[in-house]
Amino acid sequence: MNAPTAHCAADAAGTVVFELAGAPGDPAAASELVLRRRGGRTPADEVRLRLTGRRAVLDHATPLAEGRWDIVHVAGHGDREGQPVRPGTRDVRALVDRVPGEGPVTVRVPYPTADGRLALRCWVRAPHAEAGAIHLADGAMTVRGVLYGAEPGHGATAEARLGVGPRESGTASRTHRVPVTGGAGGDFTFTLPYATLAERPVTSRQLWDLWLLPRHGASAVRLARILDDVWDRGNVYVYPAHRADGWLAAPCYSGDNNLRVRLDPAD
């Protein structure tokens, strides 16, 4: 049986409407679209959407945990696993330049996987530090952004944390902090000199995760860029590298759209 194709449209509130291409199936078959979170093992990691004719609606009020959700079509009660759904047209224009409302920042972006299936990338963050423009000059990066769900206050800092990989499991974590300037409406700015991160010899790739501490003693908030229609910035947003004596440095994004600094040996 050929895998079905679904067109979809997402709005800024988090509702996603799916419509299967082709003729509707048997109304008595209780056809559904099922969303399954990758790596999930609890009942909350599966959400079932009843198809009315060819149409199914994921309402913005339906809770989805942060992660990647695969979408399958279940044709009836005897079909447990279902079939993967192929992506049709995706209308995600409403997600561009989005300004979130009150409460947790929730983002849902339908996207095509590398092997040709339809999936949904979901973020749920409260508070959330949205990275904006990044200016590169004089061996440093200046980041401007907006903090949602909190306000930058006295003692606000940005923190770079060296990610520890499996080969470095015995390595003590390293962090560096720089001051943050806050503005109206949650605006923030900070400048991070690369040399601060490269105080020790750079002999292999280092990935420094960036966090925002809104005020003295506050919990850290991950810096990310998620308020648009880009589901994976890892290979899309590429910044020029700064070359120094023995190392290269550049901002980058992870596959989850979290902001980082990448250090590499110069050779």
Given a cut of 80, is residue 83 above it in pLDDT? yes
Given a cut of 90, is residue 75 above it in pLDDT? no
Residue 139 vs residues 144, 145, 209, 245: alpha-carbon distances, Å: 17, 20, 18, 12
Per-residue pLDDT tens over the stretch 156-207 = 999 999 975 444 444 447 999 999 998 778 999 999 999 999 999 999 999 9
pLDDT value of residue 235: 83
pLDDT value of residue 168: 41
pLDDT value of residue 160: 98
pLDDT value of residue 1: 54
Confidence of residue 79 (pLDDT cuts 50, 70, 90): low
Given a cut of 80, is residue 76 above it in pLDDT? no
113 φ, ψ to 5°? -75, 170
DSSP the chain: -PPPEEEEEE-TTS-EEEEESSS---GGG--EEEEEETT--SGGGEEEEE-BTTEEEE-TTS---SEEEEEEEE-STT-SS-EE-EEEEEE-GGGTT----SSSEEEEEEEE-TTS-EEEEEEEESSEEEEEEEEEETTEEEEEEEEESS---TT-EEEEEE---GGGTTSPP-EEEEE-EE-GGGEEEEEEEHHHHTSS---S-EEEEEEEE-STTPPPEEEE--SSS-S--TTT---PPEEETTEEEEEEE-TT-BEEEEEEE--
Given a cut of 80, is residue 255 above it in pLDDT? yes
- CA neighbor of 154 nearest in space, from 215, 99, 66: 215
Confidence of residue 121 (pLDDT cuts 50, 70, 90): very high
pLDDT value of residue 199: 93
pLDDT value of residue 166: 41
pLDDT value of residue 101: 87
251 φ, ψ to 5°? -70, 155
